[in-house]
Amino acid sequence: MRFSRHAKNKARWSGLALAEVERIVAAPERADVDAKGNPRYYAHVRGQLYRVVIAQDDPTYVITIHERRD
């Protein structure tokens, strides 16, 4: 997978390894799409829920990562 600069920074600030982000995308607990049609994947890592947004036109490109509340 390729990561935007923003996604890399968010992963680092959140303490997520890029491999953990790839696991969220590979095996999400749930998924949906945003208003622009970009897929969003959700999963817990070490007790924290994360949302990973992937580019609609490039499923190998991570746009951003967000910590979420349950």
Q: pTM for this structure?
A: 0.94
**What pLDDT, in 10s, does the model give residues 21-59?**
999 999 999 999 999 999 999 999 999 999 999 999 999
Which CB contacts under 8 angstroms, 24+ apart, belong to 47-51? 48/14, 50/14, 50/16, 50/21, 50/24
Assign 3-state DSSP to the chain and report helix, strand, coil percentages, each to 5: 25, 45, 25
**Tally of structural domains, the chain:** 1
Compute the C-alpha angle 52/9/46, nearest 5°. 55
In the prediction, which pLDDT does 70 show? 74
Residues 6+ apart with CB under 8 A from 67: 14, 48, 49, 50
Q: Does residue 69 have a pLDDT over 90?
A: no
Tokens found for residue 48: 């924290």
Residue 33 structural domain = 2-68
